[in-house]
Amino acid sequence: MKKLHQGSTLLGWVLVTYFTMFTAKAMAEDWSKVETDAKKEGQLLVYSTTSRTAKAAEAFTKLTGINVEVVRLKEQELITRSYQEAQSGVHKVDMVVGEDWPAARELLNNSGYFVNYIPPTAKKLFSKKHQNPLVLGYINRVFGYNTEKHNGGDPLKSVWDLTTDEFKGRVMIRDVAITGEHQNALTEWVRRSKELEAAYKKRFGKDLEMTEANAAFEFIKRLLQNDAIIMTSDTKIAAAVGAKGQENPPYGMFYVYSKHRDIKKQDLALSDSRGIDPTLGYMYPIVLQLSANAPHPNAAKMFMEYLGTIEGFAPWADSPGVYSPNPNQVPFDGDMPLAWWEERMWLYDIDFAAANRGNVLDVWLKYAQR
C-alpha cells in the first residue's frame, strides 16, 4: 500500500505539473495571434452533449466567420467516440462539451488525449474552482411537487419523506442506471452519509436503522422498496408531476430545473421544493475541454473564449436552471444566482465520484431489479 501511495503521489505531481505548465502557456499566449491563426484555420469540430452548443456556434460563426460543426452525442457516445478516435490516431475533433466529467476525465484527460485550457475571459473572471476543469455552466436538478394539490405550500420537509408510506408509488426519478449525473450525485450522498443520518433523526426523532453500508445506500434501498417510479425522461417527470386535476399526483426527484420554463406554456401546476432537508437537489458542471491534437486548436480556443462571455452563454441563459460562472451573468427572470444554489445544493466531489459511482450503481441495480 505504501508503494501504491507513493506512486499515486508521483503520478499526481506529474499531472499537476503538466496542467500547470499548460495553463502557464495559455496565460503567456499572444491572444491577437490566436485570433489571427483561428481565422486562418477557418473551422472547427465540436462534440457536444447539449443542443444549445449549436445555437452558440451559429452566433459565433456570424461574428467571426469561423465555421463550427457541432456533432450532438449522448454522454457515453461522446466519451467512447472521442477516446477511440484519439487512441487510433484519428484527430478530427477539436474540443468537447460534456456533462459527465468523472467518467470523461478517466478516459479523455488522464490519458492525455484532452487537456484543460483556460481562455482569457475565464482566467480573468471565473473563480478558480470553475477553471479546472473549465466550466461552461452548471445545471441544477431539483425535487418537485404539484402546487394545485399542495396549495398551502411545500409538502416536502426531508428527503427521507420520499421513503415513507405517504409517498409510496408516487416518487418519479430518472433511471440511475442510464443517468451518469445521478450516479455522480449519489456518491456525494455517500460522502455525506452522516449528514443524511442527521437529517433522518431531525425529521423522525430517532436514529436511522440501516441494513446497508451507509445512509445513502439505505436511502436508495428504501426509495426503491417504496415503489419509486423509474422514468427515462425529465420532460415526462415534470409534465406528470405538474399536470392539473390530479387527486394524488406524483413527486419529482432529480429532474432538471430548466423544465420549469414550460410551466406557463403547458399550464402546469409545478414548483420545486425550497424547504427539503438536507439538500435542494444537486448541481453538476458542463465542461469544456480541448483536444491535445486538435486540427484547429486556435479556432477551438477562440470558441471556448466566446462561450465564457455573456453573448456566448446566451443559448443557456434563456431558461432557469443553468448558471454561468461568469459573475456578470444575470440569472433568468425569477431564478436565483449561482451562488444561492451553491449554498443549498450538493455538488459532487469529482475524485470521490469517479471512485465510487460504480458502488452506487450496484446498489441501485440490486433493488431496482427486484
Residue 253 pLDDT more than 90? yes
Same domain, 109 and 243: no
Same domain, 164 and 193: yes
Same domain, 259 and 299: no
The structure's pTM equals: 0.88
Q: Which three cell numbers stand for residue 264?
A: 406557463
* CA 293/CA 270 separation, integer angstroms: 46
Q: Please name the residues in contact with 120: beta carbons below 8 A apart, sequence gap of 6 or more.
A: 31, 305
Kindly state whether residue 41 falls inside one of the protein's structural domains: yes
Residue 211 pLDDT more than 50? yes
* Number of domains comprising the chain: 2
Same domain, 168 and 269: yes
Same domain, 6 and 134: yes
Q: Using CA atoms in the order 95, 97, 102, 103, what is the torsion angle rounded to 10 degrees?
A: -80
Positive or negative, the CA dihedral 32, 35, 37, 39 is negative
Kindly state whether residue 114 falls inside one of the protein's structural domains: yes
**Residue 153 DSSP label:** S
φ, ψ dihedrals at 319, nearest 5°: -155, 160
Number of H helices, E strands in the chain: 14, 12
Beta bridge partners of 97: 48, 288
Same domain, 134 and 38: yes
Same domain, 101 and 63: yes
Q: What is the CATH number of the domain that holds 128?
A: 3.40.190.10
Q: Please, which pLDDT band fits residue 370 given cuts at 50, 70 and 90?
A: low
Q: What is the pLDDT of residues 170-183, one digit of tens each?
A: 999 999 999 999 99
Q: Which three cell numbers stand for residue 163?
A: 421513503
Q: Please, which pLDDT band fits residue 110 given cuts at 50, 70 and 90?
A: confident
Per-residue model confidence (pLDDT) at position 257? 97
**Of 286, 284, 289, whose CA–CA distance to 108 is shortest?**
289
Kindly state whether residue 226 falls inside one of the protein's structural domains: yes
Q: Please, which pLDDT band fits residue 111 given cuts at 50, 70 and 90?
A: confident
**Of 135, 99, 140, 136, whose CA–CA distance to 256 is shortest?**
140
Same domain, 199 and 108: no
Length reported for the chain: 370
Instruction: Summarize the confidence of residues 275-296 as an average pLDDT.
Output: 96
Name the average pLDDT for the chain.
92
Q: Which three cell numbers stand for residue 343?
A: 449554498
Kindly state whether residue 210 falls inside one of the protein's structural domains: yes
Same domain, 289 and 249: no
- Please give the residue range of the domain that contains residue 321: 2-138+284-349
Q: What is the pLDDT of residues 216-252, one digit of tens each?
A: 999 999 999 999 999 999 999 999 999 999 999 999 9
Same domain, 180 and 279: yes
List, as one string, the DSSP characters of 264-320: HHHT--EEE-SS-BS-SEEEEEEEEEEETT-SSHHHHHHHHHHHTSTTTTTTTTTST
Residue 362 pLDDT more than 80? yes
Same domain, 223 and 364: yes
Kindly state whether residue 354 falls inside one of the protein's structural domains: no
Q: Which three cell numbers stand for residue 203?
A: 425529521
Same domain, 171 and 215: yes
Q: Which three cell numbers stand for residue 131?
A: 477553471
